[in-house]
Amino acid sequence: MMQIRPCALAGLAGAGLLASCATPAPPPAVTAFTRANCVAAPDLAAAISLTPDSKKAVYTVTTPVNADTPCLSQAGGAKPYVLYALPADIQDKSLIIGGLLEMARIVPPAVTLLDRQGAVVRAFEASDYYFRGPVYSVQFVPRAGEAYALVTVDTNRVGQRYDSIAISTSTAATYVTGGGAVSWTSGVDSSQSRVFSYEGSIQAAVFDGDKSKKR
Amino acid sequence: MRMLSVVVAALCLSACASAYVGKPYDRATAGVRSIGLVDDSTPEKVSAYEVASVGSNFGLVGALVDAGIQQSRTNAVNEALAGTGFEAESRLEQRVASRLTDQGYTVKVLANDPRNAKREFLVTYPGADGVDAYLDLTVVDFGYLSAGAGQPFRPTVFTNVRLVGARDTKKVLMENRIVYNGMRPEQGVITLSPDPKYAFENRAAMLADPKRLAGGIEEALNQVADTIAQLLK
């Protein structure tokens, strides 16, 4: 019969606890795209609707971009795509569409607007993209005749790094004997670095001017 | 105090998870060729604020002591900047005007009364002949910001900007909020990350190098100015 020493048992238990508590590594950047089943034009019938069930001041749709995402075969090479159907009622609507910051990666978006037949009617330049909150995005008001927003990947940026500095505060509470609690707020200043990637998340937000309160 | 309001508002808004709703510009349909740039774009003084300071963790008495420390730092930074001859408002307005001129607009800097204490958009605009729209650019706060005790001070700018029609100033052609090195990114707000070159360990480091201190603010304002021009492209 195998003997287990108490300290070894404690070590094993500790390792087990650590393993169960360990934070999984964030999804890594994907900087190569080698799919063979890409199509020449987006599937308009499969577009993701940006019209909410009921009127909302802000309607946000987040779409993962992964190995199962459909792809386009274009002049610049194959790339994944996400197609959104713009709201049917564009009155007082504005949209922000782009790549959502993840822990280690971000999709560099290339957004074009299509008409009902799928023809490109408006494109945005690289200089039109800004970080609006955590979304590297363009902002636009849909014009008459624009029906879809096609989001592909700006392949020129894939593999490049986006370095940033984020500041915030963090509050920790310490419980003391006798039932009280003491809280302490400290500052957080962190340097962050992400890689532009073929995979990640695309986010589209529709702002309804009728329902929004300006601040 | 102004910076405290901005920081508290930013923290509250991010906690409420509500979104800022801007309005994008559509140059093709706006019909704007000539822009009147509203005066008084920046506050008179810069701020130098530490958010999670030691004093702020010690209740009312700590807050009172902290207010004194924050004010003393702010005064010292303004005195240091005064010695460099740095003039934020004219540089920002010139940069915006220059960038817009490069984009084909005719730009006239207007002479108007100072803004209110909250640095809100103007309610009435000074009549200006020959302009199609007014660019109302108000830096609510700018200067240096540290997340808390022991964290570096970095340049910060909190800006609201809008373009309104000259004939009908209720007609908003573009409106946005641009934050350079703010506390937490807020949905819908254009968020600019600070240049790591301009980080100061503490108050003494800021006062020891006034030229670089001014350089950090100028770089932040330039980034904001270029973003505003890009939004009107």
The pLDDT, as a whole number, for residue B126 is: 86
Q: What residues of B are in contact with residue A94 (Cβ under 8 Å)? A: 21-24
User: Residue A115 falls within a domain, yes or no?
Assistant: yes
Domain ranges for chain B:
2-12+20-231
CB contact under 8 A, B149 and A186: yes
User: Residue A6 falls within a domain, yes or no?
Assistant: no
The pLDDT, as a whole number, for residue B2 is: 57
Higher pLDDT, B112 or A100: A100
User: Residue A3 falls within a domain, yes or no?
Assistant: no
Calculate the alpha carbon distances from B186 to A64, A186, B229 in Å.
21, 20, 22
Q: What residues of A are in contact with residue B13 (Cβ under 8 Å)? A: 215
Place of tokens 């300006």: A214
Q: What residues of B are in contact with residue A127 (Cβ under 8 Å)? A: 230, 233
Residue pLDDT, tens place only, A19-47: 555 788 999 999 999 888 999 999 999 99
CB contact under 8 A, B24 and A133: no
Mean pLDDT, range A67-93, rounded to an integer: 93
B129/chain A closest Cα distance in angstroms = 30
Q: What residues of A are in contact with residue B151 (Cβ under 8 Å)? A: 167, 187-189
A6/chain B closest Cα distance in angstroms = 43
User: Residue A34 falls within a domain, yes or no?
Assistant: yes
Mean pLDDT, range B111-130, rounded to an integer: 89
The pLDDT, as a whole number, for residue A211 is: 63
Q: What residues of B are in contact with residue A62 (Cβ under 8 Å)? A: none
For A188, the 3-state DSSP assignment is strand
**Whether B19 contacts chain A with CB within 8 A:** yes
User: Residue A171 falls within a domain, yes or no?
Assistant: no
Best of A138, A165, A203 to disrupt the B interface by mutation (most B CBs within 10 Å)?
A: A165
In which band, very low, low, confident or very high, does the pLDDT at A176 lie, cut at 50, 70 and 90?
confident
For residues B142-167, one letter each, b for 16 or more C-beta atoms within 10 angstroms of the residue's C-beta and e for the rest, the string is bbbbbbbbebbbbbbbbbbbbbbbbe
Structural domain range at position A69: 25-162+193-208
B153, closest residue in chain A (CA to CA): A189
The pLDDT, as a whole number, for residue A182 is: 83
The pLDDT, as a whole number, for residue A177 is: 79
A208, closest residue in chain B (CA to CA): B21
Number of domains in chain A: 1
Homologous superfamily assigned to B2-12+20-231: Lipoprotein like domain (3.30.160.150)
Say if CB A82 and CB A69 are below 8 A apart.
yes
In which band, very low, low, confident or very high, does the pLDDT at B19 lie, cut at 50, 70 and 90?
confident
Angle between helix axes B88-102 and B210-231 (nearest 10 degrees) is 30
The pLDDT, as a whole number, for residue B5 is: 57
CB contact under 8 A, B24 and A127: no
Mean pLDDT, range A93-111, rounded to an integer: 97
The pLDDT, as a whole number, for residue A20 is: 53
Tell me how far apart the terminal alpha carbons of chain A are, to the nearest angstrom: 73
A98, closest residue in chain B (CA to CA): B188
